[in-house]
Each structure stands twice: as structure tokens, then as C-alpha cells.
A and B are shown apart, each in its own frame.
Chain A
Amino acid sequence: AQKITQTQPGMFVQEKEAVTLDCTYDTSDPSYGLFWYKQPSSGEMIFLIYQGSYDQQNATEGRYSLNFQKARKSANLVISASQLGDSAMYFCAMNRQYAGNQFYFGTGTSLTVIP
């Protein structure tokens, strides 16, 4: 079975500072994908970043980077230079690479950026 764990229910960060949101996962599949989504109060899930289990390098997308440590089964999201608009819920998710698009989500981390 697949499981995603996010242990930080809420996080605060000063504007312009960097913040790391933790995510650990559990799977016995050798091929999987790891994702981070942002959900503002409006409800829409916004795709941020993707990491494949066989990718050698950590994924980066603008101010977002994914710190992938396969042996530790962790996929932490790093947001650099936080902005007020980054305040939202953040969800870590995974899917099994050859089993369709069924995503398993963590419980989320609420990030608040302080001016």
C-alpha cells in the first residue's frame, strides 16, 4: 500500500525567507512519482513540482525545489524567497508509475507567510 506522511500541520515563515515542508512516503513499487500541490483558500489544486523515482537530480521549478532522498523515502519541498501569496495549504502526493493516475495524498501543511 502507498502512504504519504506530512508531519507539519502548520508552518510560519517570514517573507523573503526560505521554508522546507516535510514529506515522507511509503511504497513497495520501484517506479513512482512524487508531486507537490498548492491549495489556496479558493480550493483549486495547483501543480508545483514533480519528481520521478528514477530521476537522478532533484526537481526544480522556479522558487520550488524538491529535496528527494530515496533511501530515506523523503520528498521535501523547499520554497525559496517566500512571498505573501505563498500562504496556502500544501499537499504532497504520489502515484504508482504504471498503475494509472490514482494519487495518494498526505494530510497537508498550512503555510503562513508573515510580512
Chain B
Amino acid sequence: AQSVTQLGSHVSVSEGALVLLRCNYSSSVPPYLFWYVQYPNQGLQLLLKYTSAATLVKGINGFEAEFKKSETSFHLTKPSAHMSDAAEYFCAVSDGTGRRALTFGSGTRLQVQP
């Protein structure tokens, strides 16, 4: 069984500040991990993915995430927030078998203050 926990349902940062969105996972097998972003009234867009290659993964829009097996974490970061980053962010885990859908976290809403 897999699960994902996103700490903090709401995160607020100032424009230009560091963005840190937390994700911890539980998986009985080596996981594949994803971060998705959802803008209002839209579907989910893939930001980045970890598929057991490099532990530091770079994604679109300047985001990156680091896979830390010892901490079972896959936190999302961006050095400098932009107003356009305001959205809902979802962490998700796959068990790698390809049989089932992803397991999603409950999401973190990012607000960027001017």
C-alpha cells in the first residue's frame, strides 16, 4: 500500500522568496514520485517526476525536487517565487507496477504575496 502526506494545506510566500512544499511518502516498493500543479478551473500539469535516476530532479518553471530515501521525502522547491506560481500543488506516488492509478496527496495551495 502507498500513501502520500503533504504537510501544510496552505503555504504563503512573498514574491521572490523561497518556495518549499513538503511531501512524504510511504511505499512498500521503490517508488516513482511526481509533482503536479493545478491552476484554477484546469486539469493537472506535470511539474516533474522521479523515476530512480538522479535524486535531484529539475522540472518546468524553475521547480526542482530532491528524493531522499532515508527521510521518505520528495519536497518541492523553487528559489524565487513568482506571482504566476500561485496554484494548487499535488504530490503523487506510483508503485511502479503500472497497474493502478497514482496515489495523490491532499494538495497544498500556494499563495504568492506581492
Partners in one complex: no
